[in-house]
A and B are shown apart, each in its own frame.
Chain A
């Protein structure tokens, strides 16, 4: 026998990790620990269908059949003072992305595009270390305009504006921001190889304040930034400790001009194994397909991911990269008989 983390408790043959996951995650709703996640991430491709099937059943059991659909837009693009090595919006790297500022009518148009896709979530993002007064004024005016528009007024609004002070957290909550995104991006042990201008702990601090203010916490990261399999397991465990409402899973797009521009794209089977492992670490958490999935998975892989633990999706384009048309993802969900979470179920 062995416990859920793979530690041997008797002299008997160790129980297969998926059998343990079936009992602990599927039946009891307890996420796998870091040791067991390492085993899952090391499973051979031949066991991938079995792993994905288990992850899908865990998702259905603990999250239900609905899929949450979200659109995102960049309110302030480029010129960021931080050095996140994956990001084409850092002002410290020679990327082709120029600074841009979306005006309020443009923000409402983006919200309308999101509403037209059937999404319930609209996330407003800015490439900043943290918001200044000008940005917060723009966010406030944008939220008021979205709420005043008959097409977009029902959308749930999330924000991603970097690191916050306690006062800014309270201000955003008072504006009606129901969820705040701030990604830890990668395992704590790998973070300093991805970002040097701030720390993992600073991000953690913002997330705790968001939680304390009563906003939903959205926190995920990017797979494929040179982390080891062990660090992926570590990252999933750290997210489980945080217990966010939502975890967006991105896959690295090696953007030109960034320090990671020559990193290889994560291969499909490895990415699917990662998706399933994160589901087994976070059985009750919303797990969202985010940026890079088109490049990593293609059409077939996206379906496999939706049948391998994912229960939320960003549709349409991303912040600086293009996604596939929202209609293609909605058609896929219809073919998979996966209902889209309705607005009235989130209010």
Chain B
């Protein structure tokens, strides 16, 4: 998983967010919901100090408490 390819907040290909400002804003309020490698919806668990996300094909993204948030695509 290279962390690029799709926006984690809208699932569109990098550079194709319908409203990039919305995705940037969501980066502050939401963990990524779409796998940045394949755009599948991920299973996400939010905890008080972090979050973890798992893609059925590409595995886990982030680690609780210190999950690095990927850039908006």
Hey, which bits of chain A sit against chain B, CB under 8 A?
Answer: 71-74, 77, 96-100, 102, 106, 109-110, 113-114, 116-117, 253, 255-256, 294-295, 315-322, 325-326
Contact = CB atoms under 8 A, between A and B. Distances in A.
A255 B46 CA distance: 15
A315 B49 CA distance: 9
Given A100-B45, A316-B49, A326-B48, 8 more contacts: A74-B45, A100-B44, A113-B48, A294-B29, A317-B48, A320-B30, A322-B31, A326-B49
A86 to B, nearest CB: 14
Contacts of B25: 295
Nearest to A327: B49
A318 B34 CA distance: 19
Contact of A113 (B29, B43, B49): B49
Contact of B48 (A110, A253, A320): A110
Interface in B3-43: 10-11, 25-26, 28-31, 33-34, 41-43
A98 B44 contact: yes
Interface residues of B, number: 23
Nearest to B32: A96
Contacts of A116: 49
Contact of B47 (A98, A110, A295, A325): A110
A125 B19 CA distance: 32
Interface of B: 10-11, 25-26, 28-31, 33-34, 41-51, 64-65
Contacts, number: 78
B48 A71 contact: yes
A320 B44 CA distance: 8
Contact of B43 (A73, A98, A318): A98
Contacts of B50: 113, 317
The 6 lowest CB-CB distance pairs between A and B, nearest first, are A96-B33, A316-B48, A113-B49, A71-B48, A113-B48, A110-B47
Given A96-B34, A97-B33, A320 B47 contact: no
Nearest to A320: B46
Chain A CB within 10 A, most for which of B26, B41, B45, B49: B49
19 contacts: A72-B48, A74-B45, A96-B41, A100-B43, A100-B44, A100-B45, A102-B45, A109-B64, A113-B49, A117-B49, A255-B30, A256-B26, A295-B29, A315-B48, A316-B49, A317-B50, A317-B51, A322-B28, A326-B49
Contacts of B44: 77, 97-98, 100, 320
Nearest to B22: A256
Nearest to A72: B48
B20 to A, nearest CB: 14
Given A96-B11, A98-B41, A98-B42, A321 B47 contact: no
Given A98-B43, A113-B65, A73 B29 contact: no
